[in-house]
Amino acid sequence: MGDNVLIAPYVQIYTATHPLKASDRIKSNSSNSTYITTTQPVVIGNNVWIGGNSVIFPGVTTGDNVTIGAGSAVNRDIPSNVLAMGNPCKIIKKLE
């Protein structure tokens, strides 16, 4: 996480992920079950503002000087110097 990052209330930043197929995700034997999970990093640049109730998905990188609108689902990388929002999150405009 970079410098001067503002995170509004109820923002969720996830790094955990798992296989989609249950047979790949759950390994059972006669006494117990184990679950396969992995993590992917989340990188947040400098001077980023993340609006309330936004969700940042595993593996996403946010550039510098980015504003993420409230309620966004950020499921792909966001370049520097933009306003992005929505579900899924998309670039709305370049910030100068």
**Which residues are designated catalytic?**
18
Contacts of 1 (CB under 8 A, 6+ apart): 44
Q: Which two tokens stand for residue 43?
A: 């990188």
Location of structure tokens 């992995």: 38
In 3-state terms, what secondary structure has residue 44? strand
